[in-house]
């Protein structure tokens, strides 16, 4: 895709793709949430339903296991103070456990409680099933190509603008 290639209205292919991606990204997140509405989590994890961000935190910890607070913040794409606030709220609900690292007592680690781990595994199983079903509908798109593209796109976005 060249930034120089413009259509008759002066829009480049990159500009068009960016506009389409901006419209699609929230829809992708919403589609994943809609395919796996988490009000069921309310029954298992307490009266107040989890926000999508809180559920993302549980899923991240299920995938990564115990993490230092700095690794958790980086994985969530938030500042350390925002990560601390998120962890405090989830810890108050009994969903996370904070503890000192056994090798370096200065490092605080966070991990899922038993109930939260079970719910995160269930969410991941449903999301895997939904994504597998969706990807099978596109046999001409190799999954490795899609993964490589998404990985590179995320890395480029994290690098920021020049």
Domain at 154, CATH number:
1.10.10.10
Question: Is the residue at 153 inside a domain?
Answer: yes
> For the sheet containing 67-68, what is the strand order?
67-68, 108-112, 96-100
Backbone angles phi, psi at 160, to 5 degrees: 85, 180
Q: CA 148, CA 152: separation in Å to the nearest integer? A: 6
In this structure, what token pair is assigned to residue 133?
Answer: 């079903």
Q: Which of 1 and 89 is assigned the larger pLDDT?
A: 89
Structural domain of 75: 13-159
Question: Is the residue at 17 inside a domain?
Answer: yes
Q: CA 91, CA 2: separation in Å to the nearest integer? A: 48
Count how many domains the chain has.
1
Instruction: Give me the pLDDT at residue 42, please.
Output: 43
Question: Is the residue at 113 inside a domain?
Answer: yes
DSSP one-letter code for 94 = T
CB distance 72 to 56 below 8 Å: no
CB distance 6 to 12 below 8 Å: yes
Question: Is the residue at 7 inside a domain?
Answer: no
Tell me the helices (H) and strands (E) count for the chain, helix number first: 7, 3
pTM for this structure?
A: 0.67
pLDDT at 115 over 60: yes
pLDDT at 37 over 70: no
pLDDT at 16 over 90: no
């Amino acid at each position: 895709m060249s930034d120089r290639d413009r259509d008759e209205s002066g829009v480049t292919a990159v500009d068009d793709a960016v506009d389409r991606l901006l419209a699609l990204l929230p829809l992708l997140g919403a589609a994943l949430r809609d395919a796996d509405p988490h009000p069921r989590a309310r029954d298992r994890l307490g009266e107040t339903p989890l926000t999508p961000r809180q559920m993302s935190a549980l899923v991240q910890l299920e995938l990564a296991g115990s993490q230092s607070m700095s690794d958790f913040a980086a994985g969530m794409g938030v500042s350390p103070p925002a990560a601390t606030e998120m962890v405090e709220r989830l810890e108050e609900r009994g969903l996370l456990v904070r503890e000192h690292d056994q090798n370096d007592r200065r490092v605080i680690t966070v991990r899922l409680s038993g109930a939260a781990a079970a719910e995160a595994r269930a969410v991941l199983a449903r999301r895997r099933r939904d994504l597998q079903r969706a990807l099978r509908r596109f046999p001409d798109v190799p999954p490795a190509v899609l993964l490589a593209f998404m990985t590179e796109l995320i890395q480029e976005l994290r690098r920021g603008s020049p």
